[in-house]
Each structure stands twice: as structure tokens, then as C-alpha cells.
Structure 1
Amino acid sequence: MAISIVILILVLATVIFHFLSPWWFTPLASNWSSIDGTIDITLWITGIVFVLVNLFLAFVVYKYRHKKGLKADYEPENKKLETWLTILTTIGVAAMLAPGLVVWSEFVHVPEDAKEFEVVGQQWSWNYRFPGEDGLLGKIDSAQISAENPFGISPNDPNGQDDVLINSNEVHLPIDQPVKVLQRSKDVLHNFAIPQFRVKMDLVPGLTSYFWFTPTKIGTFDVLCQELCGIAHYLMRGKVVVQTEDDFKEWLKNYPTFAESLQRPKGDVVAGQQYYQACVACHGSDGVGNEALNAPRLAGLSAWYTKRQLQYFKHKVRGTTAEDTFGAQMAAMSITLPDDKAINDVSAYIESLPDVIIKQSSSANIEKGKALYRNCSFCHGSNGQGNYALNAPRLAGQHNWYLKRQLLNFKNDIRGKHKNDLYGKQMVLMSRLLQSDEAIDQVIAYINQLQPVDNEQLKTASLE
């Protein structure tokens, strides 16, 4: 009797929780209400079966409970019961599958007026590509992927010259315009998912997958990777901003075409040396840094990373929080670089500085630091050499005190919280894996004994 009552209570509590639960679908913001419909059908069918089966279970537990002197009958087969169960199960499964097949057919049949754009996934970020005025995306070739051509667009395809490249985790789309999403991965299996739009699809290396949807609400929506793609899978997040057609066009103008990206002049080392004179007082003429002035080592850093950080300082992405006093100093100094060309030039000069080894000591446990560094190595490399493909700078050879300060800044939300600091947000989450100052000291002690890699080796390693 008691077991039957418990079963009835569990069934009743489950049904009440289902209808009163605050956890439900995110508000629909696309045309795919039919996907919600298929899920509702599945929930109703499985819910009814759940209630009926458990009510039957409670009934038989009560009715056929143990009674002294009664013996159970042995009935190994009941063809009539088995026939009815087979028929009812088949009807239930068909009722759940048939609507999904109909919706899937719509999901992969793209409207003729849909506009194309491409999603490119890599560990652990998203990038996007839009066709230019010709309305056609250029051909891609994985063999063409490099620091200068991260999308791998074929330079000989005229259709690709006006492709607009969005090197950001945030993409904008016009409202009420059907879009066809072409997908490809540069490394492993990913899954591009926008819960508010009810859409998701795997990105399979070597293949181009696709689906379509129509945004129906203006706003900002989450992009998630719903495939376990590596150690930092949970950091692979982005945003979709839905806006008016005019606002979308204005946003798209801010990004370069493929042809423009190829025409960007390389940094002028000679001109960069002149700009670097403003840096010498703190960072030193050889770029080895100065702890007394809280200036980190610059020598050995790749130009792409130095350029990104200088742009962050100049555009108030970094160095704006009250606690980041040294970052604020750099934000002020970045004014001496008048434009992007100056940033390119000084970054090229810093990359050309000789790689001087700094001797450092630490009493922290290196073996424990080695185990902790394993999470870092997936991006920064087993030798701390950095990796352009993963947007990870070199760590080997940097001052211990600077590495510790930056890890604490990430951990304490002093750095990496700005909406445009895409990779800083990843470091905020990763830094919290180091749960104490002792753990930070240990991982830095291990980094300290890694062999520095010169810039030429670093470029090769970054593209492997």
C-alpha cells in the first residue's frame, strides 16, 4: 500500500512540476515555431505514457500485493497483450517521428529569396563571411589558411574578392530576412546553435553543412557550441544581433573585404622603431621590461598579438577598469600611436627585437604546475610558444610577476570583461580553474622553465 501511494505522489508531483516549472524554452525569435510544435507533441505523448504506465504500476502493486496463501500464476506469453502493445507503441513512435520528418524537410529546403552567409568554427571561436556586391561567396581551400588569409579563401576566385570578413564572435542579421547558413570547421567537430531561433547543426571538418531561418525579433541572442569540441568547449560562445536592414548594412560596412585584407600594408620596422622610442623608458630599448616600472617583456611577442593589445588599449577595450591602474597608463600611452598603420609599424618592430632569455627563480612546486599547465597547453602550446590559430599569445620567457598579475586580473574581473574583448572572456573563465594563489604560482613556475621559442619558429608552430 505504501509503495503505491509513493508512486502516485511522484506522478502527481511530476505533472505539477511540469506545468509550474519556471524552466522552459527561451522565447521564440524565428520562424521555427513548428520545431516547438514537434517537441510539444513528443512531450504530450511521452507524458501521457508516463502517467498511464505509473498509474498502472501503482494499481498492480496494490492489487497484487502479497497475501498469505495466494500464489502468483506463471504466464510466459500473452499474444493478445503483446499485439496491442506493439500496435500502440508503433502508433506512439510514428506520432512522434512523423512531425519531425516534415519539419526536417522544411529545415533543409531553403527559400529562393534567402541570403547566404558562412559560419566558420574553430577551437574556440566563431567567425563569419558575407558575400559582397556580387551576392556570391568565393571558393575556399583549407591549404590557403594562414595568418594573412585565416578564412582560406582562394585568391584566384574573383567571386571571393569582395567577400566581407567578420573576424568576431558577434554577427549581425537583418530582421524578417530568410538566411541560409553555410557551415564549415577548421579543426574538429563543432555545433552551431542559437536556442532562441530553435536552430542547430553540426560543423563537420571537410564538409559544408547548412540550414536556414528567418529572424523575427530585434535583439541580441546567444550562440553556443553544442558539441564537445575540446577542453575549452564551454567557452565557445557568441552573439547574434538582429536589427533593421539599414542598421545591418551600416554594421557590415565596418568590416574589410577579402581584397582589402590582402592589401593591408605590412608593418614598417624602421617607422616602428621611431614610434617605439616612447616605449623605451618603461619597456627598455631591448623590450625586456622592467618590474620596477610594472612594464612587461615585449621582446618575443608576435606582431599579431601586440597589435591586438595596442588596439584594445587605444579603443578602451583594455585598461578602463578602476583597478587596472597599469592598464590605464598604457591606454594613455596608446595615444602616441595615431592610427592603425602606426600600430602595425611598432608591432613589427617589437617582433624584430632579439629574444633575450630572462633568468627567474621560484620556490613553487613545478611538478604541480606542470599538471595545472595542461589546460593552458591546449591553446598556448606545450612549450608556451603560443598559437595564432587559437588566438593564444606566447607565455614562455615572460616575467613571473606580470603573468601572475594578469591571471589575477582575469580571475578578479579586472581584465576581460569588456564586451569586445572576445578572447579575454575566455581567459576569465579559464583563470578560475586556478583556485588559489598557490596554484597560480605553481603554473607560473612551470611556464618559467619552458624553453622560449623564437619568432620564426613561432610563426611555423602557429600555422601547424
Structure 2
Amino acid sequence: MMVALVMALVVVASLLFHFLSPWRPTPIASNWGFIDDTLALTFIVTTFGFVAVVLFMSYCLYRFRHQPGRRSTYEPENRRLELLLGGITTLAVILLLAPGLAVWGRFITPPEGAMEVEAVGAQWSWSFRLPGADNKFGATDVRFIDANNVLGVSPADPRGRDDVIVANGELHLPEGRPIKVLLRSIDVLHDFYVPQIRAKMDLVPGMETYFWFTPTKTGQFDILCVAYCGVGHPQMRGALIIDSENDFRNWLAAQQTFAQMKKAEAY
């Protein structure tokens, strides 16, 4: 009897904690409200499942508790019950997976003409690269990485000469323009995450991953690494600054290109 009561109280306490909790998602600063909608649907489906299962167990503990003279009966199978439970489970799984797959498909399908930017993770800092006037990135190779070429841009590729290199962990982007973020790691597994953008993607050594978003609010947001990448992992932070179009152009004009960095190195 006591166990059944405690289980029912756990359900009530869990629901109260969820609805009365002051902790809520950060305000959305991109077009990915679809991700919040999918998470909300997940909460709804799993909440119904949690409440139904725990209350049913609580009911069974009370209803079929031991009483003197009561005997149990053995029922090897119940086809009707199995079909009902199987159907409910199948429907719940579809409700959980289908919206997520649809949103994921959109998340990795950037629109035509999206602005490209590269984010590179290394223990334990973020660096960035934007294409220059030719709107093309130069080739990269880890063999070219050194103190003066942190991204490993190939000196032999003319497309990389006008690439804009940002090595201070501060990335500026324009408001209202679709952005395709190319992700690359030069050592271990990292994960690019900006909570307000609802954007999260692994950086896998040896391959390039990507996603896209459209910034909808100006301001400064933290770029976090949320894959444990060594002892300096908690300090691996960057800054994403969303500017107006004019402010972004002014910032971009003040950045050094790869060719300028190599020229300064020569002197």
C-alpha cells in the first residue's frame, strides 16, 4: 500500500516540478523554432507514457495486494492486450521519431545561396574562416598547421589567399541571412553548440560536418563545446556576435586575409 502511494506521489511531484520550474529554454535567436516544437512534442508523448505506466503500476500494487485467502490465476497470453499495447507503443514511437526526422532533414539542407562560414575546433579553442571576394574556400590540410597557420590553409591554393581568418574565437555574422556552418576538427571530437540558435553538431576528425540557420536577433551568444574533449573542455568557449548588415561588413573589412597573414609572417 505504501509503495503504491509513493509511486503516485512521484508522478504528482514530477508534473509539479515540470510546470512550476523556473528553468526554461533560452529565447530563440534563429529560425529553428521547429526544434523547440519537436522537443515539446517529445515531452508530451513521454509524459503521457510516464504517467500511464507509473499510475498503472501503482494501481496494480494496490488492487492486487496480498490479502488472506486471495489466490492468483495464471494467464499465459492475452492476444487482445498484446495488440493494444503493441499498437500504442508503435504510435508513440512514430510520434517521437517522425517529426524529428523531418526537422533533421531541414536542418542539414541549407537553402541555395546560403553564406558559408567554417568553424574549426582544437583543444581548446575555436577559430573561424570566411570566404573572400571569390566566395570560395581554399583547400586545407593538417600538414600545413603551425603557429602562423592555425587552420591549415594550403599556401599553394590561390582560392585560399583571400580567405578571412579569425583566430580569436569571436565570430560575427549578419542578421537575417541564411548561414551554412562547415565544421572541422583538427585533433579530437568536439561539438559546436549555441543554445539560443538551437544549433548543435559534432566536429569529427577527418571529415567535414555542417548545418545551417538564419540569425533572427542581433546580440552576443556563447559558442560552447558540448563533447568532452580533454581537461580544458570547460574553457572551450567562443563568441557568436550577430550584427546588422552594415556592422558585419565593417567588421569583415577589418579582418586579415590568409595572404595578409602570410605577408606579415614574412616580415
TM-score, scaled to structure 2: 0.96
Contact 2:181 2:210 in 1 (8 A): yes
Structure 1 runs (4+) deviating above 3 angstroms are none
Residue 233 of structure 1, CA deviation: 1.2
Amino acid aligned to 1:239:
A
Q: C-alpha separation between the residues in 2 aligned to 1:162 and 1:16?
A: 56
What is the correspondence of 1:181-260 to structure 2 with a 5 Å cutoff?
181-260=181-260
| Deviation sequence 1:165-203 (CA, Å, 0-9, x none) | 001111111111110001111101111111111111111
Residue 143 of structure 1, CA deviation: 1.3
Amino acid aligned to 2:109:
H
Q: Does 1:166 align with 2:160?
A: no
Aligned partner of 2:104 in structure 1 is 104
Answer with 1 or 2: which has the greater Rg.
1
Aligned partner of 1:31 in structure 2 is 31
Aligned partner of 2:48 in structure 1 is 48
| Deviation sequence 1:49-100 (CA, Å, 0-9, x none) | 1111122112111111110111222223222212211111011001110001
Contact 2:29 2:216 in 1 (8 A): yes
Aligned partner of 1:64 in structure 2 is 64
Aligned partner of 2:91 in structure 1 is 91
Amino acid aligned to 1:253:
A
SS in 2 for 1:15: helix
Q: Count residues with an aligned counterpart.
A: 267
Q: Which has the higher strand share?
A: 2
Q: C-alpha separation between the residues in 1 aligned to 2:33 and 2:148?
A: 42
Amino acid aligned to 2:133:
E
| Deviation sequence 1:201-251 (CA, Å, 0-9, x none) | 111111111100011111111111111111111111111111101111111
Q: C-alpha separation between the residues in 2 aligned to 1:112 and 1:147?
A: 35
Aligned partner of 1:17 in structure 2 is 17
Amino acid aligned to 2:87:
I
Q: Please identify, of 180-189 and 229-238, the stretch whose mean Cα deviation from structure 2 is larger.
A: 229-238
SS in 1 for 2:250: helix
Q: C-alpha separation between the residues in 1 aligned to 2:95 and 2:37?
A: 12
Amino acid aligned to 2:56:
F
Q: C-alpha separation between the residues in 2 aligned to 1:208 and 1:266?
A: 31
Contact 2:150 2:167 in 1 (8 A): no
Bigger relative contact order (CA 8 A; separation at least 6): 2
Point out where structure 1 has 5 or more consecutive residues left out of the alignment: 268-464
Residue 31 of structure 1, CA deviation: 0.2
Q: C-alpha separation between the residues in 2 aligned to 1:102 and 1:265?
A: 48
Aligned partner of 2:127 in structure 1 is 127
Q: C-alpha separation between the residues in 1 aligned to 2:265 and 2:211?
A: 37
Computed over aligned residues only, the root mean square deviation of the Cα atoms, in angstroms, reads 1.2
Amino acid aligned to 1:255:
Q
Amino acid aligned to 1:205:
P
Amino acid aligned to 1:137:
F
Aligned partner of 1:284 in structure 2 is none
Q: Percent identity, please.
A: 49
Q: C-alpha separation between the residues in 1 aligned to 2:75 and 2:251?
A: 72
Aligned partner of 2:116 in structure 1 is 116
Aligned partner of 1:280 in structure 2 is none
SS in 2 for 1:119: strand
| Deviation sequence 1:345-369 (CA, Å, 0-9, x none) | xxxxxxxxxxxxxxxxxxxxxxxxx
Q: C-alpha separation between the residues in 1 aligned to 2:265 and 2:192?
A: 34
Q: C-alpha separation between the residues in 1 aligned to 2:113 and 2:48?
A: 41
Q: C-alpha separation between the residues in 1 aligned to 2:211 and 2:179?
A: 9
Residue 254 of structure 1, CA deviation: 2.5
What is the correspondence of 1:352-367 to structure 2 with a 5 Å cutoff?
none
Point out where structure 2 has 5 or more consecutive residues left out of the alignment: none
SS in 1 for 2:182: strand
Amino acid aligned to 2:93:
V
Q: Which has the higher helix share?
A: 1
